[in-house]
Amino acid sequence: MSYPNFEKMVEVIAKLRDPDGGCPWDLKQTHQSLLRFLIEEAYEFIHATEENDYQAMEEEIGDVLLQVVLHCVIADQNGKFNLESVSKILADKMIRRHPHVFVDSSLAKDDSQVKENWEKIKKLENKEKKGDYFDESYLHFPALFSANKIGKKTNKINFDWEDAGQVMYKVEEEWQELKEELTSPQKDFSRIKEEMGDFLFSTAQLARHLDIDPEDALRQANKKFIRRFNSMEKLITEDSKSVEDMNQMEMDEYWDLAKRKEKGLS
């Protein structure tokens, strides 16, 4: 199996980090300074996938790969790890977590058994690392994604609401507590922030009980807002007006018109 272009790509990135003739910007980068790019590139690939745009997917997954290799090159220069050691750890983990492929095919006959075995193996691995039911890995994701993941795990030990109806009342309770802080004569912004967090967490749990991925639901809401705003701006431009020159009330009229057009009501 030969991957000449992969090898060329690694050489190119290594050259960017070469103290003798490398790129000044790349040479300044650290694991910490590059973190936001890793997150941004991953989300750009997600967007391209949602749009079913394979050309964009090909480019964006390349940008993700760039970040992976760049981190490996930096770590190699610091004597910590390299692309080869990362590849070995990954290959060993995949073999260990897929015994039905690499050891005995009878260990899993369908995807549900694969998932069950995967979780058992992960549990054993994590138990060797630490005994906490929740480890820090649950905080490694975007907050809304983490809230959903936490809820899924507590559900497995029945530390959960019975149905969406119960969660709905919890959401209402958290909303009332948030309103109390917002309407307090002496606002405590640390309390407001805490109550806002509780409200968002309970809302994420409601979504989970409705079999809705809250991260995906919010991403779709973001898309809808941008699509509708652009439609509103187009209507405003068609009337020879500018968004920048309008007040909230004037824009609200065009917003409602854009909504009606989107729903085929006008």
For 111, 126, 129, 136, 211, the CA distances from 132, given in Å and listed in that order, are 28, 9, 9, 9, 27
- At 217, the amino acid letter reads A
According to the model, what pLDDT value does residue 122 have? 82
Give pLDDT < 70 ranges for the chain. 127-131, 266
Residue 211: DSSP 8-state? T
According to the model, what pLDDT value does residue 119 have? 84
> Can you read off the two tokens belonging to residue 129?
């690392």
According to the model, what pLDDT value does residue 98 have? 94
> Can you read off the two tokens belonging to residue 162?
């019975």
Residue 106: DSSP 8-state? G
According to the model, what pLDDT value does residue 133 have? 79
Predicted TM-score of the model (pTM): 0.69
> pLDDT tens across 153-179, in order?
999 899 999 999 999 999 999 999 999
According to the model, what pLDDT value does residue 137 have? 83
